[in-house]
């Protein structure tokens, strides 16, 4: 059973459970099977740059290295802000009250999504209060960290008529560009559309 | 990355599409306050992993004894090497194969098999002779965010003065409408957007923002709706 997360809206505090939602849970998943010309099963592996070393899942790791290429333990890393000042760690959001603040739709649309959670109430009464707000189109946000760490993500709370969701991510570095900011290339008739017309089932 | 896109007047232009990175407030330094980097390295290969060890030694007990006495899971010369420019290959018992037949197994959310079919790798459709289509189908931003999850985003940027005017006008139209525009690919303008061959298909929506003489055009990509799964896994916390 997931730990409860305490939210605060308009001074009312209530506990909720958050349950991860992803594409697989909504639409299912796709697996690929491969066979050679003779019908023998083939396995997808990673070929190292030496052209001979074959690596299966779990055969690689990420390491933090210094300027000389020597690995450094995560425990020895120093987290600093943009000014080079050492920053303090943030607590897990499950250990504090998370105050929901109103956010604009543009704020939400500026977010790079990392995770999506369904918000389930611990008590029915609390669900109605939050649901009434997000179901009417209001969007809220708060700083969120699942386990605690060096920085918060931003969690947006929004919903549809029946359910409330929490969308976790980070703000994208969007830029308003002017005429003199051109970049090099690397290489109808208006109508309102019903959102029900757009198909998601077949995006496989 | 170039993208060929048309506007409301069905004029098209090739402009730049840039990936977006998250705003970061934290940097990591080593104990001497020098910058660090993250590198991928080799941990083990298929001749040293558990299936290979089991094949040689038959029983878990024999493998365990060997691990303690001989370190057969380690290649001291190779393991730990930095990996860059790796490639993905199909391998059979006889080695690397270049010609394979791929089958897609489609599973329902409950794990049951829905369909089995030959894999079809659709080509990318963002930069072809056929521009992505301005469908003229607008969705109010507030309605869209209650319906879809935008799992990926790109920003469109001009490459010269002409395309500045082209994109600025698009952004202005969308900004005024406070709406997202559905973007489609293909000759008939009825296909989802595909960034690379065999890649994920997305429903794409264009958002425009204008500030003075500058603009921001964001292509929101979505492959899932904002909705409750039919079956909720009570233990799916993180």
Query: In three state form, how does the secondary structure of chain A look?
Result: CCCCEEEEECCEEEEEEEEEECHHHHHCEEEEEEECCCCCEEEEEEECCCCCCEECCCCEEEEEECCCCCECCHHHCEEECCCCCECCCECCHHHCEEECEEECHHHHHCEEEEEEEEEEECCHHHHHHHHHHHHCCCEEEEEECCCCECCCEEEEEEECCCCEEEEEEEEECCCCECHHHCCCCCCCCCEECCHHHCCCCCCC
In angstroms, the CA B47 to CA B49 distance is 6
Give the CA distances from residue B181 to residues A49, A195, A204, B174, B222, in Å, rounded to whole numbers and listed in that order: 43, 12, 22, 7, 13
Q: Coil, helix or strand for B107?
A: strand
pLDDT of residue A163: 94
| Element spanning B81, H or E | none
The CA distance from B36 to the nearest CA of chain A, in Å, is 5
Phi, psi of B187 (to 5 degrees): -55, -45
Q: Which residues of B touch A179 (CB under 8 A)?
A: 158, 161, 164, 213
Question: Among A42, A62, A160, whose Cβ lies nearest the Cβ of B100?
Answer: A42
Facing B101 at nearest CB: one of A2, A35, A171: A35
Phi and psi, residue B171, nearest 5°: -60, -40
Range scoring the smallest mean pLDDT among A101-110, B27-36, B145-154? B27-36
Residue B218 has pLDDT above 90, yes or no: yes
**Radius of gyration of the CA atoms of chain A, in A:** 23
B23: nearest CB among A54, A72, A173: A173
B137 vs A191: CB contact, 8 Å cut-off? yes
* Nearest CA among A90, A113, A36 for reference residue B152: A113
- Say yes or no for a CB contact (<8 Å) between A203 and B203: yes
Instruction: With beta carbons under 8 A apart, name residues in chain A contacting B203.
Output: 198-200, 203
pLDDT tier at B123, thresholds 50, 70, 90? very high
Mean pLDDT of chain B: 93
* Residue B56: pLDDT over 80: yes
Rounded to an integer, the average pLDDT of B105-129 is: 94
Decide the pairing of beta strands A60-65 and B37-42. Answer: antiparallel
In this prediction the ipTM stands at 0.86
Q: Which residues of A touch B44 (CB under 8 A)?
A: 55, 58-59
Residues in chain A: 204
Distance CA A18, CA B140 (A): 28
pTM of the prediction?
0.86
Query: pLDDT at residue B99 above 80?
Result: yes
Q: Which residues of A touch B16 (CB under 8 A)?
A: 183-186
The half-sphere exposure of B202 on its side-chain side, counting CA atoms within 13 A, is 26
pLDDT at A197 over 70: no
Which residues of chain B make contact with A46, given a CB cutoff of 8 A? 86-89
Question: Would you call A85 an interface residue with chain B, using a CB distance cutoff of 8 Å?
Answer: no
Q: What is the pLDDT of residues A3-16, one digit of tens each?
A: 899 999 999 998 99
A186 touching B, CB under 8 A? yes
Q: In A, which residues are within 8 Å of B84 by CB distance?
A: 49
Chain A residues in contact with B108 (beta carbon < 8 A): 28
Q: pLDDT of A136-181, one tens digit each? A: 999 999 999 999 988 899 999 999 999 999 999 999 999 999 999 9
A12-66 pLDDT per residue, tens: 998 999 999 999 999 999 999 999 999 999 999 999 998 999 999 999 999 999 9
The answer to whether the Cβ–Cβ distance between A175 and B216 falls below 8 Å is yes
Output the six-digit token pair for B166: 């082209």
Q: What is the pLDDT of residues A82-139, one digit of tens each?
A: 888 888 889 999 999 999 999 999 999 999 999 999 999 886 666 788 999 999 999 9
Q: Is A57 on the interface with B (CB under 8 A)?
A: no
The span from the CA of A80 to the CA of A20, in Å, is: 31
- B226–A165: do the CB atoms touch at under 8 Å? yes
Q: Is A80 within 8 Å of B26 when comparing Cβ atoms?
A: yes
Closest-CA residue of B relative to A84 is B27
Please give the Cα distance from A32 to B174 (Å, whole number). Answer: 40
Question: Which pair of structure tokens corresponds to residue B79?
Answer: 């393991």
Between B27 and B102, residue with greater pLDDT: B102
Size of interface A-B (CB pairs under 8 A): 356
The tokens for A158 are 């929004």
- pLDDT (0 to 100) of residue A189: 43
Q: What is the C-alpha separation between B49 and B45, in angstroms, rounded?
A: 6
- Residue A75's nearest CA partner among A183, A150, A173 is A150
Nearest 5°: CA angle at B231, between B225 and A111? Answer: 30
* Residue B22 in this model has a pLDDT that exceeds 60: yes
Residue B7: strand, helix, or coil: coil
Cβ pair B217, B155 in contact under 8 A:
yes
A73 to chain B nearest CA, in Å? 9
Contact between chains at B138 and A193 (C-beta distance less than 8 A) = yes
Is A58's CB within 8 Å of B43's CB?
Answer: yes
What residue in A sits closest to B165 (Cα-Cα)? A179
Question: Above 80 in pLDDT, residue B235?
Answer: no
Q: Is B146 exposed, middle or buried (0-12, 13-18, 19+ CB in 10 A)?
A: buried
- Of B38, B43, B237, which is closest to A2 when you measure between CB atoms? B237
Span of A73-82, A92-101, A188-197, B201-210 with lowest mean pLDDT: A188-197
For range B179-189, the mean pLDDT:
95
Instruction: Tell me, yes or no, if A105 comes closer than 8 A to chain B by beta carbon.
Output: yes
Cβ <8 Å between B229 and A170: no
Answer whether residue B76 shows pLDDT above 70.
yes
Q: What was the pLDDT predicted at A109? A: 97
- Is B28 close to A79, i.e. CB distance below 8 A? yes
- Token pair for B236: 């799916």
């Amino acid at each position: 059973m997931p730990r409860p997360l305490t939210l605060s809206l308009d001074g009312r505090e209530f506990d909720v459970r958050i349950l991860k939602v992803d594409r697989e849970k909504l639409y299912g998943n796709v697996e690929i099977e491969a066979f050679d010309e003779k019908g023998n099963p083939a396995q997808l592996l990673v070929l190292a740059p030496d052209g001979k070393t074959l690596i299966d899942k779990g055969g690689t790791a990420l390491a933090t290295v210094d300027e000389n290429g020597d690995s450094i333990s995560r425990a020895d890393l120093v987290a600093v802000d943009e000014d080079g000042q050492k920053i303090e760690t943030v607590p897990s959001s499950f250990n504090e009250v998370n105050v929901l603040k109103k956010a604009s739709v543009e704020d939400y649309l500026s977010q790079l999504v990392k995770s999506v959670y369904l918000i389930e109430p611990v008590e029915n009464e609390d669900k109605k209060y939050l649901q009434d707000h997000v179901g009417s189109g209001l969007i809220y946000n708060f700083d969120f960290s699942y386990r605690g760490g060096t920085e918060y993500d931003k969690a947006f709370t929004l919903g549809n008529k029946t359910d409330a969701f929490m969308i976790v991510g980070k703000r994208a570095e969007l830029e308003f560009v002017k005429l003199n900011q051109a970049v090099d290339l690397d290489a109808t008739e208006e109508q309102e559309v019903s959102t029900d017309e757009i198909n998601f089932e077949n995006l496989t | 990355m170039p993208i060929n896109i048309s506007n409301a007047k069905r004029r098209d232009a090739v402009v730049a599409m840039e990936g977006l990175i998250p705003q970061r407030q934290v940097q990591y330094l080593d104990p001497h306050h020098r910058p660090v980097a993250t590198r991928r390295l080799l941990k083990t290969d298929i001749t040293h992993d558990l299936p290979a060890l089991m094949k040689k030694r038959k029983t878990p007990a024999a493998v365990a004894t060997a691990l303690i006495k001989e370190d057969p899971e380690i290649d001291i010369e190779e393991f730990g090497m930095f990996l860059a420019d790796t490639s993905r290959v199909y391998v059979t018992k006889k080695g690397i194969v270049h010609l394979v037949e791929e089958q897609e197994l489609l599973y329902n959310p409950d794990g049951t098999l829905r369909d089995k079919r030959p894999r079809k790798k659709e080509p990318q459709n963002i930069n072809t002779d056929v521009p992505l289509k301005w469908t003229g189908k607008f969705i109010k931003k507030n309605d869209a965010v209650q319906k879809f999850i935008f799992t990926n985003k790109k920003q469109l940027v001009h490459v010269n003065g002409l395309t500045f005017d082209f994109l600025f006008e698009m952004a202005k139209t969308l900004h005024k409408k406070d709406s997202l525009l559905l973007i489609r690919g293909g000759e008939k303008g009825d296909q989802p957007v595909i960034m690379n061959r065999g890649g994920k298909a997305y429903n794409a929506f264009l958002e425009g923002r204008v500030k003075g003489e500058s603009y921001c055009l964001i292509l929101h990509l979505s492959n899932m709706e904002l909705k409750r799964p039919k079956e909720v896994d009570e233990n799916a916390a993180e």
